[in-house]
Each structure stands twice: as C-alpha cells, then as structure tokens.
Amino acid sequence: MSKLLKPDLCVIGAGSGGLTVAAAARAYGVSVVLIEQNKMGGNRLNYGCVPSKALIAAARQVHDIRQANRFGIRTSAPEIDCRAVHKHIRGVIDTLAPNDSEQRLLQSGAQVIHAPARFFGKDVIEAGGYTIKARRFVVASGSSPRVPPIPGLDKVDFLTNETIFERKDLPAKLVVLGGGSVGVAMAQAYQRLGSKVTLLELGRILYKQDLDVADAVVSALKSEGVDVRQNTSVTRVEKGDEGIRLHLESAGKASVLDGSHLLVAAGRIPNISELGLNAAGIAYSPDGITVDEGLRSVTNSRVYAVGDVAGGHSTHAANYHGGLVLRPILFRLSAEVRHEIVPHVTYTDPEIASVGMNEGEARGRGIEHRVLRWNMADNDRAQIEHETNGFIKVLAGKNGAILGATIVGRNAAELIHVWALALSKGLSLRDMTDYVAPYPTTGEIGKRAAVTYFQEMTRKPVLRGLLGGLRLFG
C-alpha cells in the first residue's frame, strides 16, 4: 500500500527550475512535495553549467599564461596536472552543493522523495511508494544528451556532458561531435588544456548566430589549433587502433578520422518519456510539454512545465520560468513568457552573449532595422588588456527602439546585463546614451554603439541650419 500525500504543489525535478519553484512556494507557506530521481541540483550543478565553467576557467588560466608575453612577462610552458584540475571541478561542485541540498529544502518544510515520478491520472503521481494528489504540478525534469542515430555509435564508448567531467586524465585526441554552444566551448577548453581536438559539425558552426558572430569564434578556435570541420557528416563509428574511428563525408568525399575519445555534444532531449504524460492527458512533442504563453499545459490545467521541458535550454531560463509560474499558482495572476528578454551565452573565448533578436532573425521576419556596431579594437580598455577580438552589434528599430544586442568578446556575458535590462524595461537607445560609463571599461562599447544611431542627425541640413541661426544671437 502506498502512502497518500495531498500537498498544494508537487514539483518533479530538483534542478534550477524545480528548486526555484519549491523554495519560493515554501517561503509563502505552501505545502510542497519535491520528487527527484537523481542528484539534487540537476544538470546545472552536476553535469552542466557548473563543472563546464570550472573546466573552462582552468583552461583560460592556461591560455593566459601562454599569452603573458604580450605584457612583457616571460613564463615557462604551464604544466597541467589533470587530477588537480578534476579536483578543482569537484571542489566547485561540492562548495555549491549545499545551496541545492535536500537538507536545505527539508529545513524549509518541503518533503523530498528520491524516486522516479509517473502520472497515473490528471492529478495523481506515484513515486517511491507514495501516491501524490496535488492541487498543482510543476514538471521541471530537465533534459539529457541527445545521441544521434549514427551507425556503430551504440557499439563504442563515448562521452557526454554527464561523463566527461568525471575523467581524471586528459583525452589525447578528442573528437567533439556537435558545433553548438557546448561543443565549441568544450573543444576550445580541452585544446587549451593539451588535448588535440577535432570539432565536427553537420552544418555550420553556431548556426543560430549571425555568420560574422560565429566566424569570430571559429577563427579563434582555429588559431588555437582546433581542427574545425564544418558541413561534415559522420556516416559510421567503430573501434579503432587509437580508441575510436569515425567515417566522415564532406562535399561528397569520404575520409577517416581516428581519435582516442569521442564527446557527443549534439543537443538535448527533454526528460519526459517516463513520466506517464498520456495518463495525465498532457500533450507533448519531441521538444517537450506543449504549454501556453504562461507555461501551463494546454491540455491539463493542473500542470505547468519549466526549463528544458518547456523549451528553456539554460539555467537562467529555468529560473525565470520558475518565478513566472508562481504567479498563477500562488496568486492567480496572469503570466506570459517573454522569450526576447532571456539572454543566451556561448562560453568560448571570445564569448558570445546576446539578448533579443539578431540580425538574421530581424531580416527573416521582415522587421525594419539598423545595425549599430562598435569593435573591441576601438575600445581603450580592450587595447590595454590585449583583448581586442570582438565587437557589439545592436539592432535598432523605429524611433530608437532596441530590438536586440549581441556582444562578442572576453566577458561578453557580463557586458550583456545592461542590454537585457534595457529590453526587459523597454528602454530606448536614447536611454542607453544618457548614463555615464566609467573609463576605461569594455562596457563603453555599448554606449558608443548607441551613440552612432544619432550620428545621422548631425548631418541633417535642417539641424545644421538651426545651429547656424542660433550662432547669430552670439
């Protein structure tokens, strides 16, 4: 006999989205049951953002040491202790883990069940010997690595983000399959740490980005020694003398690539197949649960979805979703996702950070726009630090409206904040020229780009005539 629980809210998944919902609901005194079948903290803490950025940080240190001669500093080649790098990654995870711990939720008064969850009706879930009948449900079950249907791939050992960070040694010849944000960042990081890396992409690297944006990263990867192969398909995989052998095809020509390890970074699939969604009358697709503009299931009004299962695809999107669904769940207020205010970041060097529309999207939707651009090479702080690779692109709409912004450069993720705020608050380019930027900072590029929007006004005959007339009065 299972034990019956009747909370106000049942949350499936203890990743960023689920924890945001559960913790906030408990803060308001709402009864909460949280179900997680794997590790607390989900993909973000254990396999995704945290370990990957810790690895990237270590790789950046190596790169900066190698580049120190730009400042007149002579150094010997850095020695890389792979076990110490692994210890650094684990140390970061262990330091942050208490923030997402079961103990912290239990102290707030939530109940945590460690087990798979499955719907058995529109308002019934079973998990770990419990039957949970809740007023509302939030599905925040995250996603898993997508494994492409390549012949032979299931017969060889390969790495994903869920396994690569457990390695205590460095892959000698790493092949990265997938040229999206994860693939390019991992390719660069492992190349910097000493692996010989080949990056394979079926189409164009970072295809969602404007071509000039993607090219800036591709050029950086190539300059650091990464073998970048675009428009290349893998027709077959098998074991090889060095570990793994891939049969490739590009422009109609076949070739063979040998590597010691293969990292599959070919996208993500939502974790919904084992949830029994049909039993709950929850509509879904391969992309996740079908939700309305407020993240509510279109076919079961008791159920909401946040994060990867609702198309979030980032930790901050999951957090945003989590805060959003609390409005209707707790306060009966309306909620609507504003996709345009959610930033996107690719953690390469240079980084890519964007919010709102990019140039390709605006052109494809037939939206009238101007592109405002300022190069890092024209920024004093970037010159001081020898970090001149990159630029900012701002899309300006009618009357100085901000349609979007993309920044390419070191620490671009830190520089996009002000543009994310501008979009969320409906600020204009005039607003972006009114503040005082400290000097010298790379953030000045944003204001410089905004100012260029008004340069055409200085050349208008009417305005010049007005200035000439005013000079007559002394």
Which residues are annotated binding-site positions for NAD(+)? 201, 267
DSSP string, 291-360: B-TTSBBSS-TTEEE-GGGGT--SHHHHHHHHHHHHHHHHH-------GGG--EEE-SSSEEEEEE--HH
Q: Known binding site: residues?
A: 53, 201, 267, 308
Asked if residues 354 and 343 have their Cβ atoms less than 8 Å apart, the reply is yes
Q: What is the DSSP letter of 354?
A: E
Which position has the token pair 């305005």?
463
Integer Cα distance of 21 and 32 in angstroms: 9
Q: Beta partners for 130? A: 3, 127
Pairing assessment for the beta strands 111-113 and 32-35 based on DSSP bridges: parallel
Q: Known binding site for FAD: residues?
A: 53, 308
Integer Cα distance of 310 and 287 in angstroms: 8
b/e map 110-135, b = 16+ CB within 10 Å: bbbbeebbbbeebbbbbbeebbbebe
CB-side neighbour CA atoms (13 Å) of 274: 14
Asked if residues 1 and 30 have their Cβ atoms less than 8 Å apart, the reply is no
